[in-house]
Structure 1
Amino acid sequence: MSSTVASHEQLPRHTVDSAAPTEAAKPAKRPRLYVLDGLRLLAAIGVLCWHWLGVERFPGVWHGDPKKMMPFGHLIGAYSWTGVQLFFLISGFVICMSCWGRSLGDFVTSRVVRLFPAYWVAVLITSAVLLWWAPTIWGDDTHHPTPTRILSNLTMLNMPGNVDNIDPVYWSLWAEMRFYVLFGVLLLWGLTYRRLVAFCGIWAFLATISPAVNWPLLDTIVQPTYAWYFISGIAMYLMYRFKPNLALWGIIGFCWLMAQDKMRGVIYGYEYGTEHHLSWYLTMAYVTVAYLLVIGAALGWFNWIRWRWLTTAGALTYPLYLLHQEVGFQIITRLRPKMAPYPTFFLTLGIMLVAAYLVHRLVERPLAPWMKKKLDLSFAQIRRNGEPE
């Protein structure tokens, strides 16, 4: 969700391992994987459809009954929350791609520059909307953000501090953040094929035993519910960079098996939103398609896709994800009395895509280079002053 499909580069496929942190520092350029940009937008729209069409528990949106007003839309939306699983698969893939041959400082800089500008603006916009309009949906002031809650959300670490998200969709950012911390620890030694395979194995083992160990800290770190998608994405990237082999297929297969087991509990939580039964078979069909799409990208099935507009589509994904729920609800409630349900949905989607583009164009693009320059200087100073005299 937050991962950037950067300019994709790699060395010729090989299996030679190297302990040097700068491995592949100057790899040969490869065509951009445009399909990943498209898949990211598809995942974001899937999550959007879940909130706008699949959930029955928002009384001020669609009169609290999207199933009655849009039966087909609700059928799609009730399962499209699996866009989050697709996000996590892509994140594992792209983080490896963007970090190969780079230092921990480079990684931190790339994540801060990518995540925070749009996020800060989204928090402030959503807070302003909730402060002004929230009672029109919820009928009370319980969703009005307080100043301290807004400020805590700006850190992106409010969840471990037991501070509610300004927008519930931000929960996935905490999952991503924990993945980045684990990956950052690995970057201290540098990325190599061997180390990444070992990383996948160790993480999978710890995520497997975590429920039995019953140690909350371990559970928080290794994420036994969602680890399988990040790990699978890493293995898929290794297939892309080098070549498929039985070990990598084994990692992906094991992760899929663990994901299907954990999905039983995940489904139960989403049934609370739909207020009706969700099929495990249909849910796992969605997840399996997500696996196949990212595997296909890794194996070159979609290399024929060269549509440059997908680059822009991918850039809209993150701000669209951040803004769509609470702000989108307010737009829907104002359009719904004047329009039929489906035109309301598509017009609101169009408005949110325009808003996402404006955030990207007016915030991310001008602010990112400035932040990167300043952070690069900061880390250079840290390294320089940290050397023995």
Structure 2
Amino acid sequence: MPARDGARQAPRCDIRSLTGLRFVAATWVVLLHFEPYAGAYLDQLPLLRAIVSAGWTGVELFFVLSGFVLTLNYADRMGRRLRVRATLEFALNRFARVWPAWAAVTVLMGAWIWAVRAAGWSSDVVVPHPPVDVRSVLEQLTMTQMWGRQDLPGASFVLPGWSISAEWAAYLAFPLVVFVLFRLRRLPATVLLALSVAAMAPLFLIAVNEGRSDLDQHWGLRIACGFTAGALAALAVRRTRRTPRTDALAPVLTWVAVVLIVAGALWASWRQAGDWGHKYSGVVVVLFPLLVVGLSLTDRGPARWLSSDTCVYGGKISYALYLVHFVVLDVTITCLWQDESRGQTTAELALAVPALVVGSFVAAAALHHGVEEPARRLLLRRLGRRLVPAPAVQVPAPRIAAVRVPAPPATLLAPALLAPTRSATGRPRPASDRSRGVLRVSPGQGAGSAVLTDTVERPGPVRVRPSA
């Protein structure tokens, strides 16, 4: 039976295959950035090279996944009405999720750039970097370095950091976005899915008509299209009733999306022969909402492989991998190519590429377990108490069985017990209350610990605050 908000079923908020898809997206971006130095391998594999060259669209896939997962988790809590408390909780959770790893990488890379320049070396061998001054450092640490500018190179100490700034802008806008889109939740699932695909149409049309690369597109358009498409896809999943028919169609939809993404990458390589379709690869982004929806509705097909423990673990460290791999690449090339005569891909560097990729995964695991997760838990524990007070929750009082006790002689009853029972305000307590009893909670006691006064036979729930 449909839920009152229009959802056909309770959506799964923890979808293992989508966590595995994050691993694929991060690896796709990593391979793209190492592609210029791995010609010895990719020249012999034109099909693989065409797919790798489309790796910059993995960022759009991240944006779609973010909008999808956040809407699936927060639509009911934040979509019905705008609330300060829910907004604070969401902002705190997102800040604790993205900032610690980003701050660690930013500080380390900023120190490296400063040291290289102080030594008289060039720090811009791979890509340009901003100056290491107070203003720039503050912009990096507040994740606002892209706000008010368009060019991606030279904006961040770590090149992929532009998307972190874009994501942070999307997080701050999310309460308003989900409030508006939540009004569409009762539309049919097919209509919502069509709107999701349509949200990616601007990027698709730019790729088909103009062939712009990722560096030539405005970051604001990319995050707006991807995030909105993901949010609409989540609403479509909420409206989808799980039936034998949908269980059969979901794997087909997933396979169709995967095949068309590969076909789109091959078309882009043919359309721009010699450059491996880097500029036209954006045609595949229109398929990402279909891929995400298909994976969220099935455990078969590609979802089975993406749900494996290996892919799920890779998805958990995908954010750290996305940040740290370019640090490994940038530092290595900066050290090797200070001599301009060596500024070219050599056989030695090509042989070192696999080791650098493996090293990136090892560094990502260290960053995830050593910084990202511990700092996230610490921030939520410390800041959560100050910024977001604990909500009042309903804690049912325990039932106490009524025991028949022989009544004592009336002459033994104290006069005080024979007087009418009065409430805390001084008014006589109704007889129904005297017979039912009252459950009181003493100040300073945590949830589950209460002081019982009178006899409790059928108490109602009591509003208390959970203990710290």
Contact between 1:14 and 1:243, CA under 8 Å: does it hold in 2?
Answer: no
Alpha-carbon deviation of 1:323?
1.9
Which amino acid in 2 is paired with 1:122?
A: V
Give yes or no for the alignment of 1:369 onto 2:352.
no
Give yes or no for the alignment of 1:380 onto 2:365.
no
User: How many angstroms apart in 1 are the aligned matches of 2:289 and 2:126?
Assistant: 42
Residue 53 of structure 1 aligns to a residue in which SS?
Answer: helix
Q: Write the deviation string for residues 2-31 of structure 1: whole angstroms up to 9, x where unpaired.
A: xxxxxxxxxxx735328xxxx99xx97958
Q: Write the deviation string for residues 220-267 of structure 1: whole angstroms up to 9, x where unpaired.
A: x9944443322222232223333079xxxxxxxxxx9xxx9xx9xxx9
Alpha-carbon deviation of 1:115?
0.8
User: How many angstroms apart in 1 are the aligned matches of 2:133 and 2:240?
Assistant: 51
Which residue in the other structure is 2:285 paired with?
A: 287
Which residue in the other structure is 1:312 paired with?
A: 313
Which amino acid in 1 is paired with 2:310?
A: W
Give yes or no for the alignment of 1:173 onto 2:164.
yes
Contact between 1:67 and 1:74, CA under 8 Å: does it hold in 2?
Answer: no
Which residue in the other structure is 2:147 paired with?
A: 160
Alpha-carbon deviation of 1:147?
2.8
Which residue in the other structure is 2:330 paired with?
A: 329
Which residue in the other structure is 2:102 paired with?
A: 119
- Give the TM-score taking structure 2 as reference length: 0.56
- The structure whose RCO (Cα within 8 Å, separation 6+) is larger is 1
Task: Map 1:250-269; keep pairs closer than 5 Å.
Answer: none
- Cα 1:372–1:276 change in 2 (3 A) is same
Task: Map 1:1-389; keep pairs closer than 5 Å.
Answer: 14-17=2-5, 30=12, 32-54=14-36, 62=37, 67=39, 70-71=42-43, 72=45, 75-102=50-77, 103-133=86-116, 135=121, 138=124, 143=129, 145-148=131-134, 149-160=136-147, 164-186=155-177, 194=185, 223-243=220-240, 276=275, 278=277, 283-284=282-283, 286-287=284-285, 290-302=288-300, 304-305=304-305, 306-331=307-332, 340-380=348-388
- Cα 1:96–1:41 change in 2 (3 A) is same
User: How many angstroms apart in 2 are the aligned matches of 1:45 and 1:53?
Assistant: 12
Which amino acid in 1 is paired with 2:172?
A: V
Which residue in the other structure is 1:8 paired with?
A: none
Residue 156 of structure 1 aligns to a residue in which SS?
Answer: coil
Percent identical among aligned pairs is: 25
Which amino acid in 2 is paired with 1:150?
A: V
Q: Tell me how many residue pairs correspond in the alignment.
A: 325
- Cα 1:344–1:92 change in 2 (3 A) is same
Alpha-carbon deviation of 1:327?
3.0
Question: Which of the pair is proportionally richer in helix?
Answer: 1
User: How many angstroms apart in 1 are the aligned matches of 2:178 and 2:67?
Assistant: 14
Alpha-carbon deviation of 1:90?
0.9
Q: Write the deviation string for residues 324-347 of structure 1: whole angstroms up to 9, x where unpaired.
A: 224323235668999745542221
Contact between 1:126 and 1:323, CA under 8 Å: does it hold in 2?
Answer: no
User: How many angstroms apart in 2 are the aligned matches of 1:294 and 1:164?
Assistant: 30
Residue 185 of structure 2 aligns to a residue in which SS?
Answer: helix
- Cα 1:357–1:68 change in 2 (3 A) is closer
User: How many angstroms apart in 1 are the aligned matches of 2:58 and 2:140?
Assistant: 23
Q: Write the deviation string for residues 345-364 of structure 1: whole angstroms up to 9, x where unpaired.
A: 22111111111111111112
- Cα 1:146–1:190 change in 2 (3 A) is same
The structure number with the bigger radius of gyration is: 2
